[in-house]
Amino acid sequence: MKETPTPLASSGEDQTMLIAGKGDVKKRLDAFVTASLPSYVSRSRIKTLIKQGNITVNDITNSEPNYRLKSGDRICLQIPEPDQPLPQPEDIPVDILFEDEHLIVVNKPAGMVVHPAAGNWSGTLVNALLHHCGKSLAGIGGIRRPGIVHRLDKDTSGIMVVAKTDIAHSGLSAQFADHGKNGPLERAYLALVWGALERNTGTIDAPLGRSVHNRLKRSVVTIYGPDSRHAVTHYSVIRHLDGTGEGMTNVSLVECHLETGRTHQIRVHMSHIGHPLLGDQEYGKHYQTKVNVLSPETKAAVQKLNRQALHAKLLGFAHPATGAHLHFEAPLPNDLQTVLNSFK
């Protein structure tokens, strides 16, 4: 085995940490890593990555696919991002709430991906804004995700701000990194969740990491690891909603404020405390039969959602160039408002 005690670069790469157990002793490195990853990562791909120096064993680069594992070996795999086409301008309508020479604030619809990525190279918010803003947006903060300082899930609607200058990108990035702890950033989300929460106000303080069952999902973790992150969500119940006419709370309208900004944070946290979002096929699929306790009108509205009931309703921040405080709110979109109106 050729060993080079050189740390691997992690910028722009997908990193996975694995630990060999007693049952993995003497297994080939390439076979062990392949079996530990989703089926779409082939063994030949893993062998190539090993030979290219993208795997370390106990913090030392290992370029031998047939290396035999020892109990406790720590394997770190980094899958470099494939070459990506540059995002192209596309004439897609955008709901603009505010715009000046430094930034643009939009109300993103559900179903729109924020920036191009595997499986979504076109039709994204970035493609739309490149057409709308022209050369003023190109390359700001990076050519792959120009202007992007924060994101919303594809099926989450609501307010986003995008930078149009380097000054704006730097200033906004700093505010989002602070999450409003010491700075002016404020964010609020509306969510429709199943059931009646035990308390009308509360805080969910639970670290999030990559799910061990599905690498594309997140889950609450009990032990901090290289992929886990501190995550805090504050919530308050706005309305208890009765879907039966019997005075029982079947659904709650909840406002959430983020103290951290992790991937899928609200969705995972609400599911973790037993109140997943309506329509959430990833983190609330086990609650699908709950629609049967609703009135026919509400049941039909929920079944038409085709997305999680989450909306970024409020965004406030300091203008990175002028210092003026900007505050924006967006009402619930029609699909979520229809569900809300169906409750008596």
Please give the chain's pLDDT, 344 residues, in tens.
Answer: 444 333 333 334 467 889 988 889 999 999 899 888 765 567 777 888 899 888 999 999 999 999 999 999 999 988 776 566 788 999 999 999 999 999 999 999 999 999 988 778 899 999 999 999 987 787 787 777 899 999 999 999 999 999 999 999 999 999 999 888 888 999 999 999 999 999 999 999 999 998 877 777 899 998 777 778 899 999 999 999 986 667 778 999 999 999 999 999 999 999 999 999 999 999 998 888 999 989 899 999 999 999 999 999 999 999 999 999 999 999 999 999 999 999 87
Provide the pLDDT for residue 4: 39
Token representation of residue 153: 């899930």
pTM for the model? 0.75
Which residues does the annotation mark as catalytic? 153
Phi and psi at residue 237, to the nearest 5°: -80, 125
Specify the 3-state DSSP secondary structure of 269: helix
Token representation of residue 176: 């989002």
Q: Which has the closest alpha carbon to 73: 13, 22, 142?
A: 22
Provide the pLDDT for residue 118: 74
Provide the pLDDT for residue 227: 74
Provide the pLDDT for residue 3: 40
SS3 content of the chain, % helix, strand, coil (to 5): 25, 30, 50
Token representation of residue 102: 């430094």
Cβ-Cβ contacts under 8 Å for 1 (sequence gap 6 or more): 62, 63, 64, 67
Helix intervals (H) in the chain: 29-36, 43-51, 125-133, 166-178, 265-272, 296-303, 334-342
Provide the pLDDT for residue 96: 97
User: Are 122 and 88 a contacting pair, CB within 8 Å?
Assistant: yes
Give whole-number Cα distances, 248 to 194, 197, 251, 338, 343, in Å.
12, 12, 9, 20, 12
Provide the pLDDT for residue 125: 96
User: Which domains, from first to last, does the chain contain?
Assistant: 3-80 (3.10.290.10), 96-178 (3.30.2350.10), 188-314+325-342 (3.30.2350.10)
**Helices and strands, number each (H, E), in the chain:** 7, 16
